Amino acid sequence: MFKKKLISSVFLALGILAFDQFTKYLVLKGMRLYQSIHIIDHILSITYIRNPNSVFGISFGGKFPYPVMILILVVAVLILWTVENKPTFYLLYSAIIGGALGNLIDRLRFKEVIDFIDVGLGKNLRWPVFNVADASISISVVLLLYFSLKSARVKRDEITTD
């Protein structure tokens, strides 16, 4: 059973990694830096930028901490190894690992991350430009928190009804 979950997790992580790298390849080959293609007027654009900082362009000063990112990946894999026996958790951790690998590859190749998904309302209310890896990580973390809290609530309710 564990082997099946591990294989599924690896395929999901590799699928996200491949999709992330493919979309970045298309942007690199088809666009100039800072070029923007409007998909839905002032809501969704493809805008090619490079992010030398951390998540959402936040700078923590100095150079990007590669050892920290590698440590985070190792910890994520260890967590996946010991996670609750629920397929949802395996899938979410796998999506986080796939996204983290996608951005790590960019950092190793370019010393910065290729970002291109530009969403917001109007010209001034914009989310920081991101990529497939960022979306995979962010959505998975939110869902992981949700399902973890839900699981903890169910366990708490079981204890109080006993």
The answer to whether residue 12 sits within a structural domain is no
On whether residue 80 sits in a domain, the answer given is: yes
Task: Domain count for the chain, please give it.
Answer: 1
Determine contact, residues 90/83, Cβ cutoff 8 Å: yes
* Strand ranges (E), 7-61: 36-40, 44-51
Examine residue 51 and state whether it is found in any structural domain, yes or no. yes
Looking at the domain assignment, is residue 38 inside a domain?
yes
Answer whether residue 58 is part of any domain. Answer: yes
What predicted TM-score, i.e. pTM, was given to this entire model? 0.82
Domain limits for position 106: 20-155
Tens-place pLDDT, residues 106-153: 988 998 999 999 999 988 899 999 999 999 999 998 998 898 888 777
Residue 162 lies in a domain: no
Of 16, 47, 44, residue with least CA distance to 115: 47
> What letter does residue 55 receive in the DSSP assignment?
G
Active-site residue flag, 115: yes
Within a domain: 161 = no
**pLDDT tens figures, 23-70:** 999 999 999 999 999 999 889 999 999 998 766 666 655 566 667 667
115 or 73, greater pLDDT:
115
| 88: in domain | yes
* Residue of 115, 118, 157, 162 marked catalytic: 115
| Given 20, 134, 157, 162, the catalytic residue | 134
